[in-house]
Amino acid sequence: MRIFDITVPVSDSVPVYDGDPRPRIDTVISLENGDAANVSAICCGVHTGTHVDAPSHFISGGRTSADLDLSKLVGACRVIEIAESIDEIGPDELGDISGIERVLFKTKNSSFWNDLSGDFRTDYTSFSPEAAQILADNSIKLVGIDYLSIEKFDSEDFLTHRILLEREIVILECLDLRGIEPGDYEMACLPLKYIGGKGDGSPARTILIKR
């Protein structure tokens, strides 16, 4: 069994989506200060690093990340490679997705993670509303992409997000697919579980498995 970690790490310097809070990791108890142990604390926006979007990210009263169906987050998964020249994935790029439950798109974005501390970039490859509609029509459970948003940067209607989230398709963003060959894998994507109604998304450690 080979395990591939496709998670972009959270750090003080990782790029975050324009306007999102910056992550911080602080030491609150430390051996160096004579305490019995080291204990750190993390503060971050829930769309930091590799993360899921829950329906409540764009839909008032929508399902939160803790309520995402785990059977959507764990199971068979296809990785599709998109040519570097493509800036927006449209219907022509999807290929045959019949029978696929989870799909991750490896684009030019993955190379952005050669620098884990750069500024937020707006020139990422996104996913068109027309392609999102095809995923919705094919009852896809989860779709992933390799930068901080699946939506074109200057979108005003956020239609790709809306089409997917209204159908409760899990959106997985900010993957690092640099080391991943296109093909079929098993995946596990496990977001944090926090309750209290504010979980519009969550950082989610995500792995692919090849047996």
94 vs 201, which CB is nearer to a copy of itself? 201
Which residues are tagged catalytic? 57
Give the β-pairing of 102-106 and 74-81: parallel
Least Å from the CB of residue 88 to a copy of itself? 19
Least Å from the CB of residue 197 to a copy of itself? 9
Size of the site for a copy of itself (CB under 8 A): 64
Note the Cα 164 to chain centre separation in Å.
13
Residue recorded with tokens 């959106």: 171
**Taking Cα atoms as reference points, which of 141, 206, 128 lies closest to residue 167?**
141
- Phi-psi region for residue 42, left (φ > 0), alpha (ψ -120 to 50) or beta? beta
Burial of 191 (0-12, 13-18, 19+ CB in 10 A): buried
69 vs 92, which CB is nearer to a copy of itself? 69
Q: Which of 28, 33, 83, 114 binds a copy of itself (CB under 8 A)?
A: 28
Only one of the segments 35-43, 90-98, 106-114, 128-136 lies at the binding site for a copy of itself (rule: CB under 8 A); that segment is 35-43
**Taking Cα atoms as reference points, which of 153, 175, 174, 198 lies closest to residue 60?**
198
Binding to a copy of itself, residues 101-140 (CB under 8 A) = 116
Q: Yes or no: say if 150 and 17 are a contact pair by the CB < 8 Å rule.
A: no
Only one of the segments 42-50, 85-93, 94-102, 134-142 lies at the binding site for a copy of itself (rule: CB under 8 A); that segment is 42-50
Chain residues in the site for a copy of itself (CB under 8 A) = 1, 3, 5, 7-12, 19-21, 23, 25-29, 31-32, 36-47, 49-50, 56-58, 60, 66, 70-71, 74-75, 116, 158, 161, 188, 190-196, 198-201, 203-207, 209
